[in-house]
Structure 1
């Protein structure tokens, strides 16, 4: 009976996650700290399920905004850049760093209403160096 229940729960979990369009974001230590949920209008969630930021198209750029309305940086080719153009996080396939195995994600919390966003600043020259700011700190800086 336990096996049946486990199999049933596993298949339900796979059914719900099969359609999900989520991209994991890794920090400079190779730890998955956040993810972009494309099914939730390109919302960025921390690994525990807390919504902290979102992507918004601005011309040819994808800008990152916090739910407090502040501009945080850019998302380009799977890499998150801060205002100075330094790398803060990246998808697994966009970094040469060794990444660790992903932990189980927390349940997503309710997403706040998106604010009116300011004009995106001119993008600086993007660098290949990593910022001293940790990914979690960068994303939490725009949390409402």
Structure 2
């Protein structure tokens, strides 16, 4: 099963592939992060934020993206996904940030930038 992740403008940026683990791939097939509980970790071990009720939040609690069900904007058409690349070895996970108050404000940082900061 796969779930598309959209940026705050409704563009498909990434998707979560659920299997033995929940891996986040960029639309071009690059694995950049994974879910550990409700935390989003990059393969480089960096804590990137949270995935809570379909909403992606950065470490400041601001909204960076969402799935279709949690969307508050019109989502755009999903283009063809490129082949998935091999999943890299996970680096040691840093300790998760303390959860901030989850804001209704949207982050000015692009979802792609947030997720790519976790790539190896």
Query: What TM bracket, shorter-length normalisation?
Result: over 0.9
C-alpha distance in 1 between matches for 2:108 and 2:22: 25
Larger Rg: 1
Misfit runs of 4+, over 3 Å: none
Q: Determine which structure has the larger helix proportion and give its number.
A: 1
Gapped runs of 5+ residues in structure 1? 1-20
Partner of 1:105: 81
Structure with more relative contact order (C-alpha pairs < 8 Å, separation 6 or more): 2
Q: Determine which structure has the larger strand proportion and give its number.
A: 2
C-alpha distance in 1 between matches for 2:16 and 2:3: 5
Q: Deviations over 1:53-105 (max 9, x none)?
A: 01102xxxx10111111110000000100010000010011011110111111
Aligned length: 120
Gapped runs of 5+ residues in structure 2? none
How far 1:116 sits from its partner (Å)? 2.2
Give the TM-score normalised by the residue count of structure 1: 0.81
Partner of 2:66: 90
